[in-house]
Structure formats: C-alpha cells, structure tokens
Structure 1
C-alpha cells in the first residue's frame, strides 16, 4: 500500500467503512453499481480497487440477468475493515436461483465464465439466504499485502 492509501485507511482507527446502495435491476443499475464501487473504493484508498470493481461488475450483472424480479431492485454493499478483507455483497430478489461454479472444461462457452473471475480475484465467495426470499452473493478480497480472514 502506498503512504496515501495507508493514511486514508487510518483516518479513523479501528473503524469499518460501509457503503450500501439500492439500484434498479437493469443494465443501467448494474453499470451504476460498478461506477459507484469504483468511486467509493478510490475514496477509501483501496489499492486493489480495479480487481474489486471487476468483482462488483460481475455480481451486479448476475443480479440483473439471473436474479431479477420485475419491480424489485438489487442492493450493493461494500464493507472494508482496515484489519480485515473487503467484503462485497450483492442481494437480489431470486433466492431460488443460486450461482454455481462453472465447469472449467467449458471455457469455449459464450457465457457463464463470470464466476471464474470472481473465484480468481476473491479470497473466497459464497451465497447466503436473505429475507423475503432473496439471496446475497458475497465475495471477500484481502488484496496484496493483506491477510485473508
């Protein structure tokens, strides 16, 4: 981490940074999730923000294309504990449609490889049930020089 980034994360010792936003389950909402995450992570001084933004983009895209219920939004939450990992959470309205790891042998498929990106960049990821029949897909990233929890 550069000195500037360390200073940003030390502004309030021991404090976890949290950002939560609700977005429309549309392509525009997914794009906005990526843009907002990019800005927020830059403000927090996250040194691996580019990789984290790719994870946000994939999870938001999945929420829009696979987790959409007409009239329902999705939620993006970012949490950064200076002593722990960055946690990315995307909650959508389709708790009945769970993501699954793609078969590595199907790399010539036109879709379905996004979770390979998440797996490559995240220390770990998973799915939790959320209220009202929803689900939360989450990923944790410790980035360079940080220890996974």
Structure 2
C-alpha cells in the first residue's frame, strides 16, 4: 500500500528573517514527521538557500510580496518548494571564485539534493524545488 503524502506549507514575507523562520519551520515539521537527523540537516540547508535566493530576488525586484515554502514528504524523498513572485529563472553560477561572497546557493542545493529545477505556475511567479533523499 503506498504511503500517504505529508504536506506542510508556510507563507512568509519576502524579508531577510524569512530564512530563519523557514529553516526552523522545516526542522520542526521534519522532526514531527520522524525524518532522520541527517536528512533534516540536508533539507534545512536546501530550505535556507532557496529562501535566501527568493528573498534576494524579491528585494531586487522591489516587490513587497510573500514567499511560500512547501514541504512534501513522499515515501523515500522530500520535495522542498519555494514559491516567489519573480518570474526570472534561477541562475546557476557554475564555478564560483573561492573569494566570491555569493553565488553558491544553487551549487549547495545541487550538492544536497537528488535533483532540482523550477517552473512557472499559472498563478504567476516561479517555484524553485529540490528533492532530498530520505533513506540514509
């Protein structure tokens, strides 16, 4: 029998403290779902990076909009989705200089997830997502 999908959604203001709230929310929800501590750490890192990117792009677009973090627990994976009002696709910087202060967010997401991507929902904006393995 297939396992039921668990879903959690949190709306946040597109402000710098959204990253902290999103990370705490993800840790609390994943603990309640009895996800392994290793997978929680990986998911928290992915959440932090995706929400940070969303906040930065919302700020640059001068949008006082809201973000949404959605966590979907499937049998062996966790889908992390961050929706923001900016329609510009995420930019993967590739190789980043050792001295660079930014540009590593999607590299980190790629390193902790099985896959990642984005799409434009019919409601506007974009959703950037990644899938984190839950089996250690």
- Do Structure 1 and Structure 2 share a fold, with TM-score over 0.5? yes
| Paired residues of 1:91 and 1:130 also in contact (CA < 8 A) | no
Q: Are 2:82 and 1:90 equivalent residues in the alignment?
A: yes
Stretches of structure 1 that go unaligned for 5 or more consecutive residues are 1-12
Q: Distance in 2 between matches of 1:141 and 1:70?
A: 29
Alpha-carbon shift at residue 67 of structure 1 (Å)? 3.2
Instruction: Name the Cα RMSD after superposition.
Output: 1.8
Question: Which residue, 63, 66, 76 being the options, matches 1:70?
Answer: 63
Q: Which has the higher contact order (CA 8 A, sep 6+)?
A: 2
Following the alignment from structure 1 to structure 2, what is the Cα–Cα distance between the partners of residues 131 and 24?
21
Larger CA Rg, structure 1 vs 2? 1
Q: How far, CA to CA, are the matches of 1:14 and 1:27 in structure 2? A: 36
The aligned counterpart of 1:14 is 3
Corresponding position of 1:40: 29
Across the two proteins, how many residue pairs are aligned to each other?
A: 132
Rounded Cα–Cα distance in structure 2 between residues aligned with 1:107 and 1:128: 30
Matches within 5 A, 1:1-149: 14-47=3-36, 48-68=39-59, 69-82=62-75, 84-95=76-87, 97-145=88-136
Runs of 4+ in structure 1 deviating by more than 6 angstroms, as ranges, are none
Secondary structure, aligned partner of 2:120: strand
Deviation at 1:105, TM superposition (A): 4.8
Gaps of 5+ in 2: none
Q: Given the two structures, how large is their TM-score scaled by the length of structure 1?
A: 0.81
**CA gap 1:73/1:144 in 2 versus in 1, 3 angstroms:** same
Distance in 2, matches of 1:105 and 1:139, equals 21
**Structure 1 residue matching 2:83: 3-state secondary structure:** strand
The alignment partner of 1:27 has SS state of coil
